[in-house]
């Protein structure tokens, strides 16, 4: 059996309207990964399941007043309701819940068993009461005893103390795992008991017939002096209590390494929990709830762990519900297993729930790396097709006072134009909006023509048609396309107020990539500055219009000389940052503008306001700035 559905009414942030639940989450067999930013509801979902099912480690879980939904005026609801629905029972599992099960026939005539478990908590004056029921009708019937116990789940808390969990002691977790394992069902007739009995015999023999006799004899003589003459009490040495449970409680699970780190201990703990999930043949629930699976694990260990779980348990009877903040894990988890938590809602990314095609899932499995997986945790996303936009946009956003990091916006560099492969992640099959603004920035890719007189035809009609076509292709719901008004990003920049700076950046990039040390010297900077000045004067004297100048910068320089677009964008970004640095008190020259310490220098607010005004006033740059405003939810200039 597996947990297929969770419904919640008025629990923490999940507030219902009318009879409908505040949230409904659907799960499948294998791994279910709750992914999302902080305070998106991941922990509340796992806690709701824990409250209903309880845990195998018998933690004390109790509803408090803070668990009841509270509105913005501070008014609490009076009742919480949580439902867990289980399906896909085997015959062996179903027999334990027969009086609470519903029976349904599928289209093939097979019987499908359904178990609806309900938990309700309510307040009366200053006290909180609760009840647990299961069954076919709305009220259900009380469930206690064995059936209740078989519904307990395995729970691994965040920042878990694995060493403590695996240490010996009364009711230790390792003893609970072993005692529940089918290998120890024989009870007091278990071989371990026989081993300890034999050990006790040998120990007794050592203290009665061998050199230990002197120690035990002295102890017994002292004891006789303490007791009255009629007492027949005598002392002997034994290893431990010979009950199986006590034997298991004396065991610790260690690793051969001396003082292993937290990560290794955590992996050992997870391995022990999987041991019980794999071999529990009592007909009970095989469900593991793991918060922050990545706790204490370095990236490679995270990858190995999630890869193993997905391969071994994707089609098994064991079910995992995990939460994670790790982009490493988010990139490795198969997208179909992800549950995206956003704004107190959960969006399944299973194949029948999104507009992703079958090939998209295979594509994302290959190419969704940790840097792109940032999109799962973002409040807004900007998708770009290359390194140039990726490097330049954060600087532009800072200059117009819409910093991306402050607004929780991630840039996803898809490295090509396969935007739909990624943007369709955010499109639900039923057209439910996720309310995550997605900006798609791409080129119109209409190449200008140069006639025999060296005049430029920018193909305005063809450009307009291409822009409209791409906007229609990529824009849907919360996803909005922003298309370069001319050819490419670099060509458009060369048509904007950044024309001269871009040309300087392109020439800098040429010097840098042709340098053995990938650096600029003062002489090279002077040489570039003189060339920029002379070339612009020459183009002016020849009567070049802005389209021809842009063509000279982009096509005849950047493309023909095979200059790196990424390095040119990095140089342009540095030039823009250099322009707003205070230079009256700091020894900053253009030669030092690539120094990382430059970013820590003081900003000249007057210079920044002037540059911001130039950027916002440029029509050619508006598509980039509008994309930033949309993703940061700052479309209003005020």
pLDDT (tens digit per residue) in 132-189:
999 876 667 888 788 999 999 988 888 777 777 778 888 888 888 788 777 887 777 7
Q: In this model, does residue 616 exceed pLDDT 80? A: yes
What's the pTM value of the predicted model, to 2 decimals?
Answer: 0.86
The region, left, alpha or beta by phi > 0 then psi within -120 to 50, assigned to residue 604 is beta
Given pLDDT bands bounded at 50, 70 and 90, which one contains residue 359?
very high
DSSP string, 443-505: ------EE-TTS-EE--HHHHHHHHHHHHHHH-BTTEEEEE-SSSSHHHHHHTSTTHHHHHHH
How far, CA to CA in Å, does 545 sit from each of 80, 377, 449, 458? 70, 45, 14, 12
Answer for the pair 5, 76: CB distance below 8 angstroms, yes or no. Answer: no
Structural tokens at position 484:
């370069």
Q: Is 62 exposed, middle or buried, given 0-12, 13-18 or 19+ CB atoms closer than 10 A?
A: exposed
Q: What is the pLDDT of residues 25-39, one digit of tens each?
A: 999 988 999 998 888
Candidate from 111-125, 185-199, 341-355, 500-514 with smallest mean pLDDT: 185-199
Residue ranges of the alpha helices (H) in 400-431?
419-423
Q: What is the pLDDT of residue 538?
A: 96
Q: In this model, does residue 509 exceed pLDDT 70? A: yes
% of the chain surpassing 90 pLDDT? 51
Q: What is the pLDDT of residue 589?
A: 54
Pairing mode of beta strands 338-342, 345-348 = antiparallel
Q: Rounded mean pLDDT of the chain?
A: 87
Q: What is the pLDDT of residue 248?
A: 82
Candidate from 197-206, 227-236, 424-433 with smallest mean pLDDT: 227-236
> pLDDT higher for 173 or 489?
489
Q: What is the pLDDT of residue 313?
A: 78
Answer for the pair 273, 154: CB distance below 8 angstroms, yes or no. Answer: yes
Tokens 């007909």 locate to 283
């Amino acid at each position: 059996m597996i947990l297929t559905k969770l419904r919640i009414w008025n629990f923490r942030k999940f507030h219902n309207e009318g009879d409908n639940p505040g949230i409904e989450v659907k799960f499948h067999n294998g791994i279910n990964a709750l992914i999302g930013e902080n305070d998106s509801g991941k922990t509340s979902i796992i806690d709701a399941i824990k409250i209903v099912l309880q845990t195998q480690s018998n933690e004390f879980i109790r509803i408090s007043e803070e668990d009841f939904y509270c509105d913005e005026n501070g008014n609490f609801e009076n009742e919480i309701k949580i439902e867990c629905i289980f399906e896909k029972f085997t015959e062996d599992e179903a027999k334990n819940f027969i009086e609470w099960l519903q029976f349904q026939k599928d289209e093939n005539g097979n019987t499908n068993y359904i178990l609806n478990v309900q938990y309700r908590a309510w307040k009366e004056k200053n006290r909180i009461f609760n009840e647990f029921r299961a069954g076919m009708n709305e009220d259900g019937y009380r469930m206690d005893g064995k059936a209740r116990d078989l519904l307990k789940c395995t729970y691994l808390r965040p920042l878990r103390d694995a060493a403590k969990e695996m240490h010996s002691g009364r009711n230790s977790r390792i003893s609970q795992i072993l005692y529940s394992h089918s290998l120890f069902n024989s009870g007091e007739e278990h071989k371990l008991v026989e081993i300890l009995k034999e050990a006790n015999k040998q120990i007794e023999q050592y203290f009665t017939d061998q050199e230990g006799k002197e120690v035990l004899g002295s102890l017994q003589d002292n004891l006789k002096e303490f007791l009255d003459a009629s007492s027949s009490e005598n002392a002997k040495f034994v290893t431990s209590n010979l009950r199986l449970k006590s034997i298991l409680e004396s065991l610790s699970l260690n690793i051969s390494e001396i003082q292993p780190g937290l990560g290794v201990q955590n992996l050992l703990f997870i391995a022990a929990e999987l041991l019980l999930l794999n071999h529990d043949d009592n007909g009970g629930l095989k469900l593991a709830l793991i918060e922050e699976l990545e706790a204490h694990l370095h990236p490679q260990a995270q990858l190995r762990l999630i890869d193993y779980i997905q391969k071994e348990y994707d089609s098994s009877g064991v079910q995992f519900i995990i939460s994670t903040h790790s982009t490493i894990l988010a990139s490795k988890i198969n997208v179909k297993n992800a549950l995206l938590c956003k704004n107190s809602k959960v969006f399944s990314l299973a194949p029948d729930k999104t507009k992703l095609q079958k090939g998209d899932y295979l594509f994302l499995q290959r190419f969704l790396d940790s840097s792109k997986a940032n999109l799962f945790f973002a409040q807004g996303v900007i998708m770009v097709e290359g390194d140039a936009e990726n490097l330049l946009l954060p600087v532009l956003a800072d200059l117009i006072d819409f910093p991306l990091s402050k607004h929780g916006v991630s840039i996803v560099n898809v490295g090509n134009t396969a935007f739909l492969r990624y943007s369709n992640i955010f499109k639900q099959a039923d057209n439910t909006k996720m309310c995550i603004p997605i900006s798609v920035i791409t080129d119109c890719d209409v190449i200008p023509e140069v006639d025999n007189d060296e005049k430029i035809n920018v193909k305005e009609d063809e450009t307009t048609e291409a822009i409209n076509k791409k906007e229609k292709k990529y824009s849907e719901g919360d996803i909005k396309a922003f298309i370069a008004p001319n050819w490419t990003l670099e060509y458009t920049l060369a048509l904007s107020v950044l024309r001269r700076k871009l040309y300087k950046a392109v020439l800098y990039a040429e010097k840098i990539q042709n340098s053995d040390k990938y650096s600029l010297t003062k002489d090279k900077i002077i040489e570039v500055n003189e060339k920029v000045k002379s070339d612009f004067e020459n183009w002016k004297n020849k009567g070049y219009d802005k389209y021809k100048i842009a063509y000279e910068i982009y096509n005849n320089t950047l493309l023909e000389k095979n200059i790196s677009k990424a390095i040119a964008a990095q140089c342009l970004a540095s030039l823009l940052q250099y322009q707003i640095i205070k230079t009256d008190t700091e020894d900053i020259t253009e030669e030092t503008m690539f120094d990382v310490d430059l970013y820590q220098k003081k900003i000249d607010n007057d210079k920044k306001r002037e540059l911001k005004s130039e950027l916002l006033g440029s029509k050619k740059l508006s598509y980039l700035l509008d994309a930033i405003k949309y993703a940061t939810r700052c479309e209003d200039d005020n």
